[in-house]
């Protein structure tokens, strides 16, 4: 029996699944065109009414916690850096470039840089992310510039600058 070669994501030879990436982006576009903020959420501006955010700060650390009610679809952002995630409560179906998985909290995981998630909350969720905050800013717009890439092209440019 031939064994499939699995390349870990944290190596320089990782190649993103462009088909899944395109599907996630298409799903995000579809969600952005639906006019029902009580059902679909794709960004922080529309989510704060339906999905309350809690921001906490400590020396060099930014912690973001979101409550996501059951039945919500959300497409996350592209993060520039690896960072810890904690699904504190709930059941969720998550799609990334690496495929689809069902997560049941409580659990912890490390999100790799460049990851973008589309998710469906099967139950109410509490999801927390932890990010480096070396300047100790509490300005959320400034933090977003540091930790988020608006597009995959921006993320690729950021990676090249880091090398």
Residue 36: what pLDDT? 64
Domain ranges in the chain?
18-162
- Output the pTM of the full model: 0.79
Cα(99)–Cα(80) distance, integer angstroms? 20
Q: What local confidence, expressed as pLDDT, does residue 143 receive?
A: 94
Closest residue by Cα to residue 28 from 78, 99, 89, 91: 78
Burial of residue 149 (CB within 10 Å: 0-12, 13-18, 19+) is buried
Q: Kindly report the CATH class assigned to 18-162.
A: mainly beta
42-65 b/e (C-beta count within 10 Å ≥ 16 → b):
beeeebeebbeeeeeeeeeebbbb
Separation between Cα atoms, residue 124 and residue 69, nearest integer Å: 4
Q: Over 96-125, what HEC string results?
A: ECCEEEEEECCEEEEECCCCCCEEEECCCE
Q: What is the pLDDT along the chain (163 residues), one digit of tens a residue?
A: 444 444 445 545 456 678 888 888 888 888 777 766 655 555 555 555 678 899 999 999 999 999 999 998 888 899 999 999 999 999 999 998 888 999 999 999 999 999 999 999 999 999 999 999 999 999 999 999 999 999 989 998 998 887 7
């Amino acid at each position: 029996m031939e064994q499939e070669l699995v390349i870990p994501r944290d190596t320089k030879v990782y190649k993103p699944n462009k088909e899944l990436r395109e599907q996630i982006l298409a799903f995000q576009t579809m969600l952005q065109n639906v006019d029902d903020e009580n059902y679909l959420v794709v960004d922080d501006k529309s989510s704060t009414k339906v999905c309350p955010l809690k921001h906490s700060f400590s020396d060099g650390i930014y912690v973001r916690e979101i409550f996501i009610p059951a039945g919500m679809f959300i497409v996350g952002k592209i993060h520039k850096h690896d960072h810890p995630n904690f699904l504190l409560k709930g059941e969720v179906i998550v799609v990334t470039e690496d495929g689809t998985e069902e997560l049941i909290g409580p659990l912890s995981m490390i999100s790799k840089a460049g990851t973008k998630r589309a998710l469906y909350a099967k139950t109410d969720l509490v999801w927390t992310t932890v990010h480096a905050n070396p300047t100790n800013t509490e300005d959320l717009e400034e933090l977003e510039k540091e930790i988020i890439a608006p597009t995959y092209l921006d993320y690729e440019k950021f990676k090249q600058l880091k090398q």
